[in-house]
Structure 1
């Protein structure tokens, strides 16, 4: 089978890419509007792209009507985010926060998701998240530049909250204890407990 991507619709391209480039980590992103309304939304086009400076990138697509999502609007206005990893136990709440709500309605309140204050940034963080990165926005790039249908947010990690319960006896992350979910295609997800190790060649 061969796919000529120039002949596919945007939806077909998305479906093939999203079902083959897997598993993808999920960024559960909290932000705050200039008037103080909290927002929480998941994004699976997400990755760490640099360790110096420590930088995460999130792709935030536009809505079907072309308007900007609240996460992007808040990032543009305030320059701050908290990016969480999602555990299996939090998967249902994460999925609920993906609902399209009217502007000005908080997913924390609408979905009854408990929050905690962050230390260095204004947006709240999700209570119980095993990892939460407090971030400042380095830059936001419309993509593609000629006719943007999404925006790339480059966020520098200022502070990480890591639950001691997911650490092994050496103080490192134990994937089995972390037990986060990854995105597959369609409605499918996976979890990170099934692992194996390989020694890199010298």
Structure 2
């Protein structure tokens, strides 16, 4: 099958776009507002985009609480979503008024960052502390701004729970990372294999 996306007439029950672009890591973003309120929310449009410097990005459809806080304070955290925390991550995705503490709502421990004044999930196996480098509104082919807001941040500090360290490496079979698939589907990355680049 083929369909142009301007009409989006695919004949399926649901739009398949996000199912095709998967699995996607989940950016579980911790942030703090100017008013002192704290926020925790998952974003499926998230990824690392550079290693030197260490840069990450999350994108929100419209100006949501995490984007607002990151813009106001210039700081946020990215918390690792593992299988043992996935239900609590899901609770933190609930649509609630600004100022509601999703850490408390999800039964999670909020801890202040070492280098940023933004909260992180104390129970997470790994956390990235980030400072905002830029915020953009990507444009469509017509040049019009989309409804999305992309927040870029440089990682300035990293927390790692040594429970997932084995032989000097993070063991993803122990960490059991969760990724977003299409629709309401998730996947768990506990089956890990190595493959080395060929030498030509």
Answer yes or no: same fold by TM over 0.5: yes
What is the aligned counterpart of 1:76 among 66, 71, 92?
A: 71
Which secondary structure does the structure 2 equivalent of 1:2 belong to?
A: coil
Instruction: Output the CA distance in 2 between the equivalents of 1:77 and 1:185.
Output: 32
- CA shift, 1:199, in A, is 2.2
Instruction: Output the CA distance in 2 between the equivalents of 1:108 and 1:199.
Output: 40
Moved over 3 A (4+): none
Structure 2 residues without counterparts, runs of 5 or longer: none
What is the aligned counterpart of 2:158 among 153, 157, 160?
A: 160
What is the aligned counterpart of 1:195 among 192, 197, 200?
A: 192
- CA shift, 1:6, in A, is 1.6
TM-score (norm. length: structure 2): 0.92
Within-5 A mapping of 1:47-196: 47-62=47-62, 68-144=63-139, 146-169=144-167, 171-196=168-193
Instruction: Output the CA distance in 2 between the equivalents of 1:82 and 1:151.
Output: 17
Which secondary structure does the structure 1 equivalent of 2:16 belong to?
A: helix
TM-score (norm. length: structure 1): 0.91
Instruction: Output the CA distance in 2 between the equivalents of 1:76 and 1:18.
Output: 27
Which secondary structure does the structure 2 equivalent of 1:121 belong to?
A: coil
RMSD: 1.5
Structure 1 residues without counterparts, runs of 5 or longer: 63-67
Q: Matched residue pairs, number? A: 193
CA contact (8 A) 2:54 2:154 kept: yes
Instruction: Please identify which structure carries the higher helix content.
Output: 1
Q: Deviations over 1:133-156 (max 9, x none)?
A: 000000000122623301111110
Q: Deviations over 1:2-54 (max 9, x none)?
A: 12112118xx9x93221011111001000000010000000011111111211
